[in-house]
Amino acid sequence: MAGGIGSRFWPFSRTLCPKQFLDILGTGRTLLQQTFDRFNKIMPAENILIVTNKIYLNLVQEQVPSIPLKNILLEPYRRNTAPCIAYANHKILSQNPNANIVVAPSDHLIIKEEEFLRIVQKGLEFVSKEDALLTLGITPSRPETGYGYIQIHVDKEFEKKHQGISKVKTFTEKPDFEMAKVFLESGDFFWNSGIFFWSLKSINSAFNENLPEINSLFKDGVHLFNTIEEENYIENIYPRCKSISLDYGIMEKANNVYILCSDFGWSDLGTWGSMFEHSLKDKAVNHIKGKNVFLYDTNNCVISASNEKCIVVQGLSDYIVVDSDDILLICKMKDEQMIKQFVNDVKLKLGDNYV
């Protein structure tokens, strides 16, 4: 999935070039490229689909040239993750009705790649044998308020048989800090990574039961997929798709949802704070991007600027300072969840030029 705009990473991530197309951590590869490289180790390029907004077609082709054009699924409008996944399901159905599928965002950080790929293969094996919707859960390391949480149903006999896989009890979207602390201390809540596994048969059955109006739109046109009629058909049906996430639309309603809990050095890199956690820092625990940055009595900050700009900062602690060509953001690290509000306010008052 590569169609989001990454607004919490504003102003670095902008509508015309969001974070999945950026080299966030200075590795020499964008997040999309890293995601492709990761999966390409265990599956051929022709088995990898990239679902994105149609305005990003050129970016995808430039960054992942080995992906066949027919495997780049172009959404004409943003409708959250459920329509995106429904589109991919029926595209795959037109080629291989017996497929087993892993769904992953294109903008996550995976540090322990070998362990991650082992988990992916384990997940695919499980859903190939069970009628199950499986998600990856991450053991929480802090009371994070920016992630969704999944509570497991403890069944020692089942978990012993399936080694680390549990039935899901509840989903909770982004709790407040006090509730996140309770979740952390309980030991039976895990971060929702947004990475899913299922057989095509199981996920299509779940769509039929829980989101039939979305599923029928794609099902009615499956005979047009991989033909010259596909683009026009998708253009016509997308305005009629409900904008809803897969979590809300299916995962929280289905009774065959399981979780595979693991630790492979995961971060959704959704915010400046999550990037800061995984970035290189100086002796004062500042992450600095830019050649001409001068800091005085400043610690635990993100300071990001172009190499041409001279930046001088004095007396800040726990702040985000990001200077782009036409935007300067100064925000307390603990209040970074407000960045979405900043973006909305800027768009309302100044239009799309700054977002």
Q: What is the pLDDT of residue 155?
A: 73
Quick one: which H or E segment has residue 199?
strand 189-199
My answer on whether 253 and 314 are in the same domain is no
Asked whether the predicted pLDDT for residue 285 surpasses 80, the reply is: yes
- Domain endpoint, select from 224, 241, 272: 272
Question: For residue 149, is it within any domain?
Answer: yes
My answer on whether 151 and 256 are in the same domain is yes
Measure the CA dihedral 37/83/230/208, to 10°.
120
Q: Which domain holds residue 308?
A: 281-354
- The pLDDT tens digits for 182-194 are 999 888 899 999 9
Asked whether the predicted pLDDT for residue 47 surpasses 80, the reply is: yes
Question: For residue 201, is it within any domain?
Answer: yes
My answer on whether 177 and 240 are in the same domain is yes
Biggest CA–CA distance in the chain, Å, is 64
My answer on whether 237 and 115 are in the same domain is yes
Token digits of residue 114: 């070998």
Please give the average per-residue pLDDT across 86-104, as a whole number: 95
pTM (2 decimals)?
A: 0.90
Question: For residue 137, is it within any domain?
Answer: yes
Give the span between the Cα atoms of 117 and 150, in whole angstroms: 22
Q: What is the pLDDT of residue 161?
A: 73
Q: Which long-range contacts (CB under 8 A, 24 or more apart) does 312-319 make?
A: none
My answer on whether 184 and 290 are in the same domain is no
My answer on whether 134 and 262 are in the same domain is yes
My answer on whether 149 and 251 are in the same domain is yes
Range with lowest mean pLDDT among 3-12, 105-114, 148-157, 246-255: 148-157
Question: For residue 215, is it within any domain?
Answer: yes
Please give the average per-residue pLDDT across 222-229, as a whole number: 92
Question: For residue 2, is it within any domain?
Answer: no
Q: Which residues contact 187 (CB under 8 A, 6 or more apart)?
A: none
Work out whether the CA dihedral 321, 327, 331, 335 comes out positive or negative.
negative
Share the mean pLDDT of the chain.
Answer: 93
Question: For residue 285, is it within any domain?
Answer: yes
* CA dist list (Å): 97 to 68, 203, 254, 338, 342: 20, 12, 21, 43, 44
pLDDT band at 142 (very low <50, low <70, confident <90, very high): confident
The shares of helix, strand and coil residues in the chain, as percent rounded to the nearest 5, are 40, 25, 35
Work out whether the CA dihedral 303, 142, 169, 167 comes out positive or negative.
positive
My answer on whether 265 and 287 are in the same domain is no
Please give the average per-residue pLDDT across 290-308, as a whole number: 94
pLDDT band at 88 (very low <50, low <70, confident <90, very high): very high
My answer on whether 95 and 240 are in the same domain is yes
* Counted domains in the chain: 2
pLDDT band at 265 (very low <50, low <70, confident <90, very high): confident
Range with lowest mean pLDDT among 148-162, 251-265, 295-309: 148-162
- Domain endpoint, select from 252, 272, 292: 272
My answer on whether 251 and 287 are in the same domain is no
Token digits of residue 84: 């995106």
Q: Which residues contact 115 (CB under 8 A, 6 or more apart)?
A: 262, 263, 264, 265
Question: For residue 239, is it within any domain?
Answer: yes
CATH (domain of 176):
3.90.550.10
**Residue 147: what residue type?**
Y
Q: What is the pLDDT of residue 317?
A: 98
My answer on whether 233 and 329 are in the same domain is no
Share of the chain above pLDDT 90, in %: 76
- Domain endpoint, select from 229, 254, 272: 272
Asked whether the predicted pLDDT for residue 163 surpasses 90, the reply is: no
My answer on whether 178 and 306 are in the same domain is no
User: What b/e readout covers 316-332, taking b as 16+ CB neighbours within 10 angstroms?
Assistant: beebbbbbbeeeebebe
Give the span between the Cα atoms of 114 and 243, in whole angstroms: 35
